[in-house]
Structure 1
């Protein structure tokens, strides 16, 4: 099965820049998006063969997530993590299937001046506990913009960003906890030492052309699913957002 995730940074704008061409070309079994920045009724997507699940932020033009899936889930839950404000921002969706949980997340940013670092770390605590509770029931697939570059290899300028949002020791430490025998970073599982593999670039002039980026968009899977991972990709050639899509393919025919 093929899974795709993309922070579209405004779905309506992304549609005008080729979103649907990429969507149909990928022929994914499940396609997750983050930062849709719209409310119900503001877009009408004709995606034949896909069930659509939307999680809108209450604040207009802000945040939000969605999932388009060929398989109908057993159940769908929304915003199970976060403080009162975060739960209105459409940051989390969980789709339960017979064989796994699929979690689509848009992790809160600690902000440029780290004004919300404590709030971000509180989210991480709750999010980790939530994922572990799911994993005790069945395997978990997690995707989305997690707003952290885990290792120095995951951003261009690691030395100058060590105290900046998305690369603080605290944020990186929480990602390490997730990957410590619990979840697997599917891209690094297959491509441990590949450099220049980024998923987000600033809109500053020529930054993307020079590939001065960060890898902050992920597919993570439960440790017991890692042998099912047959491919993981970063589609850096795809424009339309300041993020690019990422994908993973799982071969469910292998015995667990």
Structure 2
């Protein structure tokens, strides 16, 4: 079995102070994809860099206290950062681990909620991200190599994916343009929303605003995904969103796959 967990930590140091390490030890994931680590390399103490029996890899934003992604791996992989886009690679948004027949990516897509400028940047990101995603599907069809893109996509796909959908139709993260873009990832590009393949229930959220009583009342959004090529998506056995403890404003999303992970072998 392969257990893959994705979590926007909203600050890696903060999540560890809130008990992330003991949970990781019990949870026993093979791959942990982290987003919004908000830390620079010089500040990564050993506990954060290589916790438990994981090897950590990180892609930091140039701006301190901002963005950044990471991976905790238990198996050898070839790890690379970025998507050959200078504007967004500086923000630390993409980190990929290539194994023998599977690639797992930690991705942190921009939020546009702070205003028109960042919403425009979000659309620019999607313009670059789309062809990068297309290349993965082309590779899958040609070679059978599978891909899982984990992370905070900052888009809720359908009405079922957020509590107050009627009040958010014009808000970043649920605009018609964003929803159409992610629909295209599934409908035309052929990727699979793995969580929804296994769990079609309502009220399944991964992020809650810190305003009001959003967490207590479960007024949330499902904006964290594991989006995969069909071969690995068909191997999904179980999903979970962990809410017994709070490590950040997001909850860990875990999917178990009937898959034996083979370490990367250089050609």
- Fold in common (TM above 0.5): yes
The answer as to 2:147 corresponding to 1:140 is: yes
Q: How far is the alpha carbon of 1:41 from its aligned partner?
A: 2.5
Q: How far is the alpha carbon of 1:120 from its aligned partner?
A: 1.5
TM-score by length of structure 1 reads 0.93
The answer as to 2:29 corresponding to 1:15 is: no
Contact 1:238–1:245 under 8 Å retained in 2: no
The answer as to 2:131 corresponding to 1:129 is: yes
The CA distance in 2 between the partners of 1:249 and 1:101, in whole Å, is: 15
Q: Tell me the residue number matched to 1:156.
A: 163
Contact 1:81–1:92 under 8 Å retained in 2: no
Pick one of 53, 76, 79 that aligns with 1:76: 79
Q: Tell me the residue number matched to 2:197.
A: 189
**Secondary structure of 1:179's aligned partner:** helix
The CA distance in 2 between the partners of 1:118 and 1:205, in whole Å, is: 28
Structure 1: any 5+ residue segments left out of the alignment?
A: none
Give deviations 1:213-242, integer Å, cap 9, x for gaps: 100001111022222011111113330201
RMSD: 1.5
Q: How far is the alpha carbon of 1:81 from its aligned partner?
A: 4.9
Q: Tell me the residue number matched to 2:259.
A: 252
Q: Tell me the residue number matched to 2:263.
A: none
**Secondary structure of 2:160's aligned partner:** helix
Pick one of 232, 237, 253 that aligns with 1:230: 237
1:51-130, aligned counterparts within 5 Å? Answer: 51-73=55-77, 75-82=78-85, 84-130=86-132
TM-score by length of structure 2 reads 0.89
The answer as to 2:246 corresponding to 1:239 is: yes
Instruction: Compare relative contact order (CA 8 Å, sep 6+) and give the higher one, 1 or 2.
Output: 2
The CA distance in 1 between the partners of 2:251 and 2:153, in whole Å, is: 14
The CA distance in 2 between the partners of 1:224 and 1:183, in whole Å, is: 10
**Secondary structure of 1:219's aligned partner:** strand
Q: How far is the alpha carbon of 1:119 from its aligned partner?
A: 2.4
The CA distance in 2 between the partners of 1:196 and 1:247, in whole Å, is: 16
**Secondary structure of 1:167's aligned partner:** coil
What number of residue pairs does the alignment pair up? 250
The CA distance in 2 between the partners of 1:236 and 1:168, in whole Å, is: 27
Q: Tell me the residue number matched to 1:37.
A: 38
The CA distance in 2 between the partners of 1:69 and 1:234, in whole Å, is: 20
Pair 48,17 (structure 1): closer, same or farther in 2 beyond 3 Å: closer
Pair 102,108 (structure 1): closer, same or farther in 2 beyond 3 Å: same
The CA distance in 2 between the partners of 1:210 and 1:114, in whole Å, is: 29
